[in-house]
């Protein structure tokens, strides 16, 4: 099953209003065989039961970031991210891995921990405020778990980031993640780590290749289901040493800041062609504004909606590129809603964005690497620019250090 899996869209909740950044829903999608490290990599050092391994530094990473030179303008960063990050036989995960290779792009894949846990072992999952084994996304078949292992491993070897979309995707009712305490978030994250680090024990596939990374080192950020619960999540992840969180329920196209010591990287309101309101930079929010709660609207709508979604992403990109150079964050799912038009839109937007000068298609982790390398005063200056605000006098003047006052 793809997209919203077993529950109706309404069951997962749309947030407030379908205009102005319409709903915010994340993490549906789903999942199959893994390849080992390339021949030129060092032999893996097995971790735990062999579900994960250490194979050396992650390949295909950009050069270590350096501070901007005085008066140098920032690059235009664009992050494509995927909630759920599983493969269910529809070929979407490998499709976007190949697209990324073709354009030297890196992405973030927010893996749902339950996508590596067989349904027969679901009682190992003890979700906060919900029955044992409960989940608002479906468990995967064995074949789809193997496909997910394969492509998650390949994604890391290609240089992409593996974050988390947590586990059961609870968005509605008293058990919603919106109500979880910091302690409950910590318990959920520990279960995420357990399901990824112990899939071999849980599946019994002891001859299946290990994932080629140490998940404890890899996991430095995530996105919550439906963009809910960040307030109580942040204290928990700060204690775990996470570097960022991408769960804010909608933000503006401005340079980010830290919240409680963690970089806050929200999905953003971007122009929505044909409307006066803006839409959140995610496939589901495009759908919510185009076809309401229907993922299978009449096909005669699809061509125009595909163009509208593509142009929305591009409008958000161009507004930032031509003005404040704020990073653009795009969130999607491996889904086939409305005939797959949102996958086509994401692909077309990436292809067109990739050819602009000074563009960097990066993961969230790579982006915060760059942020952490910058002079805090420069970042503060960048944050002073509003949406669509241009640097006064151009970048060379705007980011030129103030002249030291002469002594008297």
For residue 81, give the H/E element and its range. Answer: strand 76-84
- pLDDT for 40 equals 64
CA angle 345, 351, 356 (to 5 degrees): 125
- Whole-number Å distance between alpha carbons of 152 and 334: 13
The pTM of the full predicted model, rounded to 2 decimals, is 0.90
Residue segments in the chain with a per-residue pLDDT below the cut of 70: 1-42, 403-408
- pLDDT for 253 equals 97
Q: CATH homologous superfamily of domain 9-33+67-398?
A: Glycoside hydrolase/deacetylase (3.20.20.370)
- pLDDT for 81 equals 98
CA angle 17, 223, 160 (to 5 degrees): 130
- Whole-number Å distance between alpha carbons of 230 and 81: 18
Q: What is the pLDDT of residues 348-404, one digit of tens each?
A: 999 999 999 999 999 999 999 999 999 999 999 999 999 999 999 999 999 998 764
Cβ-based neighbours of 251, under 8 Å, separated by 6 or more: 264, 266, 267, 268, 269
- pLDDT for 38 equals 59
- pLDDT for 1 equals 34
- pLDDT for 37 equals 53
- pLDDT for 43 equals 79
- pLDDT for 129 equals 97
- pLDDT for 249 equals 81
Q: What is the pLDDT of residues 331-343, one digit of tens each?
A: 999 999 999 999 9
- Collapsing DSSP to helix, strand or coil, 351 comes out as helix
């Amino acid at each position: 099953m793809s997209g919203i899996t077993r529950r109706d869209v309404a069951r997962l909740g749309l947030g407030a209003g379908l205009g102005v950044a319409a709903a915010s829903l994340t993490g549906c999608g789903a999942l199959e065989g893994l390849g080992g490290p390339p021949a030129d990599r060092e032999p893996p050092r097995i971790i735990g039961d062999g579900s994960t391994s250490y194979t050396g530094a992650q390949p295909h990473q950009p050069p270590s970031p350096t501070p901007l030179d005085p008066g140098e303008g920032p690059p235009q960063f664009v992050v494509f991210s995927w909630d759920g990050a599983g493969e269910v036989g529809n070929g979407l995960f490998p499709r976007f891995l190949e697209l990324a290779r073709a354009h030297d792009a890196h992405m973030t894949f927010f893996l749902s921990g339950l996508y590596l846990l067989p349904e027969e072992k679901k009682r190992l999952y003890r979700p906060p405020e919900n029955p044992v084994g409960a989940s608002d996304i479906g468990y995967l078949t064995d074949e789809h778990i193997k496909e997910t292992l394969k492509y998650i491993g390949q994604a890391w070897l290609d240089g992409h980031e593996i974050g988390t979309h947590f586990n059961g995707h609870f968005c509605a009712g008293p058990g919603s993640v919106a109500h979880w305490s910091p302690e409950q978030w910590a318990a959920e994250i520990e279960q995420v780590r357990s399901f990824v680090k112990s899939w071999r024990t849980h599946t019994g596939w002891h001859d299946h290749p290990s994932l080629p990374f140490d998940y404890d080192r890899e996991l430095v950020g995530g996105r919550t289901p439906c963009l809910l619960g960040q307030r109580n999540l942040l204290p928990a992840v700060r204690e775990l040493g996470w570097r960022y969180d991408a769960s804010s329920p909608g933000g503006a196209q401005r340079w980010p800041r830290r919240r409680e010591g963690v970089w806050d990287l929200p999905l953003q309101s971007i122009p929505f062609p044909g409307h006066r309101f803006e839409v959140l930079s995610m496939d589901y929010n495009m759908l919510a504004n185009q076809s309401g709660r229907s993922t299978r609207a009449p096909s005669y709508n699809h061509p125009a909606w595909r163009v509208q979604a593509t142009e929305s992403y591009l409008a958000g990109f161009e507004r930032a590129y031509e003005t404040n150079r704020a990073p653009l964050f795009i969130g999607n799912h491996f889904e086939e809603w409305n005939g797959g038009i949102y996958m086509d839109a994401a692909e077309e937007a990436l292809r067109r964005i990739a050819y602009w000068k000074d563009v960097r298609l990066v993961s969230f982790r790579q982006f915060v690497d760059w942020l952490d390398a910058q002079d805090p005063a420069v970042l503060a200056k960048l944050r002073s620019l509003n949406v669509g605000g241009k640097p006064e006098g151009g970048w060379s003047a705007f980011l030129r250090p103030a002249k030291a006052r002469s002594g008297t």
